[in-house]
């Protein structure tokens, strides 16, 4: 084999070496990403579990809000005034309803 032929062969091996190294790194990255994807997806995976827990928490909070709104709606305007009147009496000694009794 002549010297120029050896130079051509050696120069051809350099890109192959670089390509092999790049291929090895890409395969390693593919394996890591595949494992991470499997961890995040699937029936028993972490992400669906977190989403289910979040949805359950949102549902519970919505139910509490509905319950509080229903209770608030049950209080009549007069009852709300009485509560306000009791608070006013505590501050000023007289309430709104005590003025109505004077009429």
pLDDT tens-digit series, residues 6-54: 766 767 767 788 889 999 999 999 999 998 888 777 766 777 788 899 9
Opening angle at CA 76, ends 70 and 77, nearest 5: 125
> Is residue 103 domain-shared with residue 65, that is, in the same domain?
yes
pTM as predicted: 0.40
User: 88 and 50, same structural domain?
Assistant: yes
Residues 33 and 59 in one domain: no
Q: For residues 53 and 46, what is the distance between their CA atoms, to the nearest angstrom?
A: 11
Query: Does residue 52 sit in the same domain as residue 95?
Result: yes
Closest listed residue to residue 99, CA positions, set 89, 78, 91: 89
Residues in the chain: 103
Domain that holds residue 20: 1-40
Contact yes or no for 88/96 (Cβ under 8 A): yes
């Amino acid at each position: 084999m002549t010297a120029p032929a050896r130079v051509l062969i050696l120069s051809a091996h350099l890109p192959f070496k670089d390509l092999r190294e790049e291929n090895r790194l890409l395969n390693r990255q593919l394996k890591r990403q595949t494992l991470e994807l499997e961890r995040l997806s699937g029936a028993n995976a972490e992400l669906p579990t977190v989403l289910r827990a979040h949805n359950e928490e949102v549902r519970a909070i919505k139910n509490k809000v509905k319950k509080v709104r229903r209770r608030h709606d049950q209080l009549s305007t007069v009852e709300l005034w009485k509560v306000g009147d009791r608070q006013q009496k505590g501050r000023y000694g007289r309430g709104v309803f005590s003025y109505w009794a004077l009429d």
